[in-house]
A and B are shown apart, each in its own frame.
Chain A
C-alpha cells in the first residue's frame, strides 16, 4: 500500500521555490481543494521534482501554473494506468544503439519506468528545489538537450504537461478548466451549426467537460476512478 502523502504540503514546498508562495494559491488551485489522497505512482520527492519541471513549462501568470492546474495529479494517474504500463508501445528487443531521432522512441522502458529511472538520474544533475525560477528554467533547458534518458524524460514530461493542462478534467488535470478557460475552448458539448459561418466576434461559451453536470455538480468529479483511459 502506498504511503499517504499530503499533496497540499508537497505543492506548498514547490511554491516556496518559485518565490510566489507569499501570494498563496488561488482558491481554484487543484491542491487547495485537495486532500491527503496518496499518490498512485509518485513518491513525494518525485512529485515535487515533477511539479517543479512542469511549472517551468507552464508557469503561473493570470492563469494557474501546470501543477496548480493538476498536471502532477494527471501524470500520476497516467503512470498508474494503462499508458504508464506501456499500452500502445511495442517493446520487443533488441534495442540497438545509434537510433536516429526520425525513428522515434527506442528505449526499452514503459513510460512509468522512464519516469522512475529518468527522474532518479535527473535528480543527480542538480537540486531543483533550491534553485530560483530562472535557474530552474536553465536547468530544464539543459536537461532537455542531453542525449540520454534525461533528454527523453524531458520530452515525455513536456508532452504529458500539455496533455494534463488541456485534457478533459476527468483525467484530473485541467482543474476548474484552467487550460480551457485560458485559450477559450468550450469543451465536449459541441454543436456549432448555427455559429460556424456567422463570422461575428462571438463570446465563447463557458467550458463544459465530458462529466459536466453529472450528479448536478458544476465541476466534474475529481475521483481517480473518473478517468476512462
Chain B
C-alpha cells in the first residue's frame, strides 16, 4: 500500500515548460502547488557551463540530458498488421527528463500558429469545398481561435525574450517580417539574430524569386533582457552547442531560468525530484481524479492527493498516463470510437543540401538553435491548394544551427558512404554547404494512433505505450511539393554548384524510428468542442474528469507546419487563465458535454 501524504490544492505532473509555468501562475493565484518531476534537479548556472557542456559526444549522441529508455520507452510499428517492437534506443525524437524537461535542450524556434491552422477543417472546407479533405484524414478545428490565443502567444514570446521582426502588427504589414502571420498585438521584445552568409544568400535568392524571407523567431536572445517574471537573459554567443545542449550563457530561454528561479522560493510552491508518477487515481464514481501514485527518491510508492491535477508530462507521456490510469475512453481504430490515443501526428521533414563553390565559406560551427532565414510562402494555406491534392504545408528555412563535426558531414549526392572519397568530400564541403529544411505539417488519420502494448513493459511494470504511425499519403505529397520549391530557391542561391533533396516521407519510405526528425510528437489527447472527438474541452479540461487539466502538444488535433512550443504555451496560458478565473472559484465542467 502506498503511503498517503497530506492533500495539496494542485498536483502538477512534470517540471518542464508547461509544468513550471502552471506552478508559477497557480501558486500566485493562491493555490498550493506540488510539482512531481521524474528526473533530477539541475540548474542552468551549474549544470550547463562551457567548455564542459560543449561535448558533442556526450550530449548530442549519448543523450545525457534526455530521458532514459531503460526506464520508459514505447513500441513502434507503421501499421496495425505489423508487430510493434520497442524503441530500444532514442533516435527519431528526444524527450526530456529532469528540471526544465526538454525545454533546456530545445532549439528555441518560437512560432505562432497561423489563424487558419486552428480552424483547419472549417477553413479548408470553406475555401475549397466540403469534399476537399480526403476521407482518411481526421483533421479538425481546435475549438479555440487565434484571436483568443493571441495575448497568450504574445506573453510567452516575452517570457522568452524572443528575437524577431513582426510582419503583421495589429493588421499593418511590416517589412522584413512574416507577411503571412496573424495580427500581433506587439512586436517581438528583441531584435532579430545576426545571420551568417549561407542564410543571407538564401534570403536574397528567395526575395529575387518574389518570395518573402524573414529571420526565424528565436528564443536565443539577442540583447540583455529581463522577462515579465523578472528573469535576466543575456545575448547569444552563437556557440553552436544549442539543440540537445543546455545554455550556460543564459542566452537560450529555458524553463529553469525563465520560470523556476522566479517561483522556487514562493510559499505555495514545492517540487519533488526523482518522483516518477505511475498512475492517477480516480474517485469512486469515476468523475474526478483524487491524486497520483508516484515512486519517491527512495523507490517507495507514495500517494499524493490533490483537488486539481495538471498533466504536464510531455505529449506522449500524458497519453500514456491516461491509458494506464483509465482516464478518458481509449481510442479503437477498428470502430473509430474513443478518444485517448486518437489523432496522433508528427512532423513531416525533408532536407535540401546546397553546395557552394570555394568562394563562400560558411563556418558552420558558428550557429544557434534558432538561427535561420525562413519563407512561409508554402506553409499552412498560404498558397493555393486547389490543384495540389493535399492540405497543409511547411516552412522552408536555411539554417545554421550546429556545424558540430560528428553530426554534420554534408556531402554531395553520389558520394560513397565511407572511404577515401567520402573523407575527401567531407573535408571539401564542411565549410561550403547551405542546410535547408522543409518543416512540414502532419495530418491526423484514423490509422495513426497511440494505445498500450500487449507485450513489453517499462521498469515499473506498466505496459509500454504503443505507437502506430506512418506518413499519410497527404503528407507525402505535401512534403514532396514543398521540397521541390525549396530546391528551386537553393538553385537560385549565389555560388551554389549542386543541390540535392531528401524527403523522409517519400513514397518509397516508411516512418523510421532511427534518424532524428523532431521532438514534435503531437495529438493523442486532443482539444475540441465535441467529446466524441476530443479528450479535453476547449479549455484543456478533461470531459470525463473535470478536475484534470491537460497541457502540451498532445492537445493538437493535427500538427501544423511550425514547431510546437509557441502554440502549446499559448494554449497553456489560455487554460491557466480559465482555471484561475472560472474553474478554481467554482470547480466543475467549464463546458457542457
Contacts and interface: CB of A to CB of B under 8 A. Distances in A.
Contacts of B512: 101-102, 104
Nearest to A94: B455
Nearest to A185: B405
Contacts of A103: 76-77, 85, 87, 513
A149 B404 CA distance: 30
A83 B196 CA distance: 36
Interface in A167-192: 167-168, 170-171, 179-180, 182-192
Contacts of B85: 96, 99, 103-104, 106
A188 B77 contact: no
Contacts of A180: 405
Chain B's interface size range is: 35 or more
Interface string B490-520: 0000000000000000000011111000000
Contacts of B424: 61
Contact of A229 (B62, B90, B371, B404): B62
A228 B64 CA distance: 11
A60 to B, nearest CB: 9
A136 to B, nearest CB: 10
A202 B90 contact: no
A167 B60 CA distance: 11
A204 B366 CA distance: 11
B295 interface: no
B69 A199 contact: no
Nearest to A179: B405
Q: Is the interface of B mostly helix, strand, loop or mixed?
A: loop
Contacts of A104: 76, 85, 87-89, 91, 512-514
B511 A163 contact: no
A183 B513 contact: no
Interface stretch (B119-127, B235-243, B306-314): B235-243
A196 B366 contact: yes
A25 interface: no
A61 B55 CA distance: 27
Interface stretch (B137-145, B174-182, B336-344, B415-423): B415-423
B68 interface: yes
A92 B89 contact: no
Interface residues of A, dominant DSSP: loop
B237 A102 contact: no
Interface string A58-88: 1101010000000000000000000100011
B513 A228 contact: no
Nearest to A170: B55
B54 interface: yes
B441 interface: no
Given A104-B87, A137-B419, A228-B55, A88 B63 contact: yes
A162 interface: yes
Given A184-B431, A210-B54, A56 B235 contact: no
Interface string A93-115: 01010111111111000000000
Given A195-B366, A196-B366, A202-B361, A185 B82 contact: no
A182 B363 contact: no
A160 B216 CA distance: 34
A84 to B, nearest CB: 12
B55 A188 contact: yes
Contact of A182 (B69, B82, B427): B427
A91 interface: yes
Given A96-B85, A192-B366, A210-B51, A88 B423 contact: no
Contacts of B417: 158
A92 B457 contact: yes
A135 to B, nearest CB: 13
Interface in B48-73: 50-52, 54-58, 61-63, 68-70, 73
Contacts, number: 179
B50 A204 contact: no
Interface in B285-301: none
B63 A196 contact: no
A92 B456 CA distance: 8
A81 to B, nearest CB: 10
Contact of A96 (B58, B83, B236): B83
B88 A105 contact: yes
B481 interface: no
A104 B467 CA distance: 14
Interface string B428-459: 00110000000000000000000000011100
Contact of A202 (B363, B409, B513): B363
Contacts of B359: 201
B55 A89 contact: no
B513 A190 contact: no
Most chain-A CB neighbours within 10 Å: which of B63, B235, B420, B510?
B420
Interface string A125-148: 000000000000100000000000
A101 to B, nearest CB: 7
B493 to A, nearest CB: 14
B76 A229 contact: no
Contacts of B78: 100, 102
B299 to A, nearest CB: 19
A5 interface: no
Interface of B: 50-52, 54-58, 61-63, 68-70, 73, 76-78, 82-83, 85-91, 194-197, 200, 235-241, 359, 361, 363, 365-366, 371, 403-406, 409, 417-420, 423-424, 426-427, 430-431, 455-457, 510-514
Given A59-B420, A195-B363, 6 more contacts: A90-B73, A102-B512, A102-B513, A171-B57, A190-B241, A192-B237
- Counting from the closest, the 5 A-B pairs by CB-CB distance are A188-B54, A197-B194, A188-B51, A192-B366, A190-B239
27 contacts: A58-B423, A59-B419, A88-B90, A89-B88, A90-B70, A91-B70, A92-B456, A96-B83, A98-B83, A137-B419, A158-B417, A182-B427, A183-B405, A183-B426, A185-B365, A188-B55, A189-B54, A190-B54, A190-B239, A191-B238, A193-B235, A195-B363, A196-B371, A199-B196, A209-B51, A228-B55, A229-B58
